[in-house]
Structure 1
Amino acid sequence: MADVSKEKIYRFVVSFHVNLLNDPRFEKIELPQDKVRKNTKNDRINDLLGVQLSRLEQVLSEQGIVVYNRTIQGTYLDAENIIEIKITEDNITEQSDLNERKSKSKLKVRSIVPSLPFTQETVSRLASESLSKLFVDLMGVIRNKKIMSEILGIEPTEDENELFKSFFVQYYDLWLPTDERRKELLNKFQEKSILVLNRYSNKHN
C-alpha cells in the first residue's frame, strides 16, 4: 500500500473467480455464529463473502485508509486461484470532504455481488425488455422505419432489429433513469422527431 495516501478517499473492489461459487470448499468454511442467517446455499455464500469483505475492511482501517465504497464480487479472472484487489481514488466526493467522510455517521456503501456476470446478464435482460416495449410504442407512433432511421441518425433501414440496436445504445439510460435524465432523453427524442417529421411534411407540401 505504498502508493495509498491516508489523506485521500478510496474505493475498494475485491474480485474472485466466479467458478469458486461451486467449489465444495465453500461448505467447509466455518462462519461466526452471529454471521449465519439461514442454511440455504445462497445465504451461506452471501454470509461468507460478507465476512471476507469485513476482514479486508479491517485491514484497511488498521492502515488508516479511508474507504466508504467497497465491493466483493465473483467474476471471470485468468485463473481460479487468483484474488484481484483494486483500490482506486474516489473522485466522486470532493477530497475537501475527507473529514466529514471519516465521521462514523457517514453513510457507507457495501456491495456483495456473488456473480457479476449473472447480475450483468440480468440487468441487460431487464433493460432490453423495458426498452423493447418503449421502442415498440414509439414505432407505433412513428410508423415509418425510414423516418425512425433518420431520428436515430443512422443509414435508412427497414431492419427493425437494426433500429432497435441503435435505439438501445442511444437511449439505454431510459430503462432506469433519474427524473432529470428521463426528461433529457425524451426531450432529445422528441426534438429529433419533430425536426425529421417537419422535413418530411415540407417535402410533401
Structure 2
Amino acid sequence: MEWILQNTDIFDEDIDSKFNKVILENKNRIEREHIYKFRVSFHVNLLNDNRFEKFNIIDSKRKNDGSKKDKMYAVLSFQLEKLSKHLTQHDIEVYSLTIQGDYLEAENQIKIELIEDKTEATYTKGKKNVRAVCSSIIPSLPSTRENISYLASKRLSEIYSDLMNIISDKKLMSEILEIEETDNNNVLFQQFAKLYGDLWLTTKDRAEELRKQFKDRSLYVIEKRLEKEKNK
C-alpha cells in the first residue's frame, strides 16, 4: 500500500497526525494478521534545507545539535519515530522502519508505504521470542544506490578477474557462462554478473550455492572438452 501526503514535507511538525488520518481512512485495507515494512520517503532536494538546523526536537535524548549531518539524522530519526508510533497504536505489526530521501514528484510531498514483510525473522540477542526492530535512515537513496552499484561492480570485477586468471581461456569461459564463443572481455563479464551477481554480497549459503554452481558447470565443460579431444 502506498499513500502520498500532499502539501507537507519532512519538517512538518504535524506530519504524524496527517499519517494517523490516512490510517483511519484505510483501516479496512490493512490486514492486521500481516507483518509489514514501513517506508517513508521525502524529497531528496530538501537535504540542504536550513530547516534541519532550526527544527525543534522535543526529545532530551535526541537533540539536533552538533554537526550539520548530526542535526539531519536527529530530525529524520525523530520524525520516523513520531510516525511509527501510530502503527503501534493501530496494532499494525512492523519490524522494519525506513526513512529515505528520494526523487518525488514535488518537494511538498511525503510518500508512505506499507509493504508486507516476508523476510525471515531475526530475534534480539539473549531474548527469546523478542523480534528485533530495524530502523534505517537513508538521507539520499539515489546516492546510496549509486554507491552500492559501484561496490557491486568492483567486487564482481575482482571475482571475475580471479577466475579468468585460473581459467585463462575466454573460449572456455564463454562455454561455462553459456553464451556464444567470444573474446570480448566485457561481454563475458556482463554475462558473469548476470549469472553470479549475488556473489558480491549475499548470505553464506547463497554464496556457497553459486560457487558450487560455477564449479560444477566448469568441470562439466572441461570434461566434455577432454572427451571430445579423446575421441578425435
Which TM-score band (shorter chain)?
Answer: 0.7 to 0.9
Of the candidates 215, 218, 223, which is equivalent to residue 190 of structure 1?
215
Higher share in helix = 1
TM-score (norm 2): 0.78
Question: C-alpha displacement at 1:26, in angstroms?
Answer: 2.3
Structure 2 residue aligned with 1:131: 156
**Aligned residues with identical type, % of pairs:** 44
Structure 1 runs not aligned, ≥5 long: 95-102
Match of 1:45 in 2: 72
Q: What is residue 174 of structure 1 aligned with on the other side?
A: 199
Rounded to whole Å, the distance in 2 between the matches of 1:137 and 1:92 is 33
Q: Which moved more, 1:134-143 or 1:120-129?
A: 120-129
Supply the AA of the counterpart residue of 1:42.
K
Q: Which runs of 5+ in 2 are unaligned?
A: 1-25, 122-127
Conserved in 1, the CA contact under 8 Å of 2:64 and 2:75?
no
Q: Deviations over 1:53-99 (max 9, x none)?
A: 000011222222221111111112222222110112223369xxxxx
Are the structure 2 counterparts of residues 104 and 135 from structure 1 closer, same or farther at C-alpha, using a change threshold of 3 Å?
closer
Residue type of the partner of 2:105? D
Query: Using the alignment, how far apart are the partners of 1:162 and 1:173 within structure 2?
Result: 18
Q: Once the 2 structures are TM-superposed, how far is the Cα of residue 38 of structure 1 from its aligned partner?
A: 5.2
1:71 paired residue number? 98
1:81 matched to which residue of 2?
A: 108
**Equivalent-residue separation in structure 1 for 2:170 and 2:56 (angstroms):** 60
**Counterpart amino acid of residue 23 in structure 1:** D
Q: Supply the RMSD in Å over aligned alpha carbons.
A: 2.1
How many pairs are equivalent? 197
* Secondary structure in structure 2 of the residue aligned to 1:204: helix
User: Is 2:141 aligned against 1:113?
Assistant: no
Q: What is the TM-score when the length of structure 1 is the normalising length?
A: 0.87
Indicate if the aligned counterparts of 2:57 and 2:64 stay in contact, CA closer than 8 A: no
